[in-house]
Amino acid sequence: MTDVAIVDAVDAYLQRKAVGDPDGSGAGTYASNAESILRRWAEWLEHDHDLTAIAALEVVHMRAYAEELRQRTERGEYTASTAGTYYAVVRAFLSWCVHGGILEANPAATDRAETALPTADDRPANDAWTATQRRELERHVRDRALEAGTHTARERRARLREYAMVAVLAHSTVRGAELFRVPDDDRRTGATWQDVDFYTGTIRVLGKSQRLEDVPLPARARTPLRRYRVVLDPPSNDWPLFPTGHAPSIAARVRSVLRERGYDDETVEAMLADATAMELARERSIAPPAITTEGARSVLRRLCDAAGIDVDGDYLTPRGVRRQQSDEPYRQEATTSKATLRASVLEQSIVVPADRPPVVDVEPSEGDDSSDSE
């Protein structure tokens, strides 16, 4: 059996899939979607198990991978279906390795490994919000936003940010992993302002299908988001909707980009000595990282504590903010034209569910960045 490095086998597999689509069957798209999944899996094997050769891969490693996916599901980072998709991509790759003669058997296609995968019952028990809890939280952040005019510019921005975050999660079908940054997924870097189209009332996200999708933003989500944008005043459209307030993360991004632009370390450090990382990011139009899914959970935990809302002694998560509704009829694969989707958005926006609170206008003022940490 030839000793082949896992990363080399992944490269060969992706290349074969990308070029093996003469009839437009979708293999090229599959390769694009599978690449990040397989590369993260290979990195995980090397980091956690010091395993780089595919011939050394055993069932115990794939069971450990399934358990890793289950743990992430239990923490609310993945849904059970997403975890299942990731595992299925790896299993298909290993089947290709078997057919190609570089692996004797598929260690992922065994009961011992697959029984460790998460199921729908493994999602956090506290991820379901009641209509009353949603109303209470939204009322709390809306009232805080209304009072923002009497506070500092920094506090005004922080409060309008919180209101926009809750409103988008509560009144759209956008998922937390589509809105915020997922640290272990290099494709999920967080939604940016260039993804938002206020004219059509949509936001473009990387959906569970690993494809870009245009998702409606109802008026109850758009209005707080638009007003938050005024106070955020992003210097460029690649700025994330919800930048992190974690100063070390911002500084690391600023240093990295400035070095890429040709500045030496001494000059970069001198710049950072004269201004905060966020000030320098604004001045140099360097988009900071988006807040992470865990950071968003921390924000929601704090807001729930302040509003006196809890679920069995725990806090409400981004997944649970969303109303219990099917989002499939309103999602479509991203295209250059949004005319059809816009019609469905307008039709949807006419219906106002009885359990939603009325929209209260908030007049924002410009100010500094929020300092929420991740």
What was the pLDDT predicted at 196? 95
267 within a domain of the structure (yes/no): no
Mean pLDDT of 223-234: 94
More confident site: 194 or 308: 194
Domain boundary among 66, 101, 122: 122
How many angstroms separate the Cα of 43 from the Cα of each of 33, 47, 170, 185?
Answer: 17, 6, 35, 12
Residue 210 confidence (pLDDT): 76
What distance in Å separates the CA atoms of residue 52 and residue 57, rounded to the nearest whole number? Answer: 9
Task: Give the amino acid at 4.
Answer: V
192 and 106 assigned to the same domain: no
Which of 87, 122, 157 finishes a domain?
122
* Beta bridge mates, 290: 243
> What gap in Å lies between CA 56 and CA 103, rounded to an integer?
9
Residues 10 and 152 both lie in one domain: no
The pLDDT value recorded for residue 29 is 60
Residue 68 lies in a domain: yes
Query: What CA–CA distance (Å, rounded) separates 56 from 107?
Result: 11
Same domain, 49 and 112: yes
How many other C-beta atoms can be found within 10 angstroms of the C-beta atom of residue 60?
A: 12
355 in a structural domain: no
Q: Phi and psi of 120, rounded to 5°?
A: -60, -25
Query: pLDDT > 70: what percent of the chain?
Result: 75
Asked if 89 and 142 sit in the same domain, the reply is no
Q: Which residue has the tokens 């640290």?
A: 183
* Separation between Cα atoms, residue 92 and residue 373, nearest integer Å: 39
Tell me if 214 is assigned to some domain: yes
H or E segment and range at residue 72 = helix 59-74
Amino acid at residue number 184 = D
Which residue do the tokens 């000030």 mark? Answer: 279
pTM (2 decimals)? Answer: 0.61
Q: Hey, what amino acid is at 252?
A: A
Give per-residue pLDDT as tens, 120-138: 654 444 455 677 888 888 9
Backbone angles phi, psi at 197, to 5 degrees: -120, 100
Does one domain contain both 346 and 220?
Answer: yes
234 located within any domain: yes
Same domain, 223 and 149: yes
Q: Are residues 139 and 115 part of one domain? A: no
pLDDT of residue 253: 95
Q: Are residues 161 and 214 in the same domain?
A: yes
For the record, the structure tokens of 39 come out as 């590369």
Rounded Cα distance, 68 and 2, in Å: 29
> Cβ–Cβ contacts within 10 Å for residue 261, how many?
10
* Structural domains counted in the chain: 2
Q: Report pLDDT digits (tens) over 65-101.
A: 999 998 888 877 777 888 888 898 999 999 999 998 8
Q: How far apart are CA 305 and CA 361, in angstroms?
A: 25
Lowest mean pLDDT: which of 200-204, 264-268, 271-275, 336-340?
Answer: 336-340
Both 118 and 136 in a single domain? no
pLDDT at residue 68 in the model: 92
Q: Are 82 and 36 in contact (CB under 8 A)?
A: no
Q: Decide if pLDDT at 147 tops 60.
A: yes
CA dihedral (222, 227, 231, 233) in degrees, to 10, reads 50
Both 229 and 296 in a single domain? yes
3-class SS at 50? coil
Handedness of CA 303, 305, 308, 310 (dihedral sign): positive
Among 330, 332, 335, 328, CA closest to 347 = 330
The answer on 235 and 106 residing in a single domain is no
**80 and 144 housed in the same domain:** no
- Give phi and psi for 253, each to the nearest 5: -65, -45
What pLDDT shows up at residue 336? Answer: 54
Range of the domain at 214: 131-246+289-350
Asked if the structure places residue 357 within a domain, the reply is no
CATH at 298? 1.10.443
Give domain status of residue 265, yes or no.
no
Most trustworthy range by pLDDT among 158-162, 328-332, 367-371: 158-162
Q: Find out whether 360 and 135 touch, Cβ atoms under 8 Å.
A: no
Residue 278 falls inside a structural domain: no
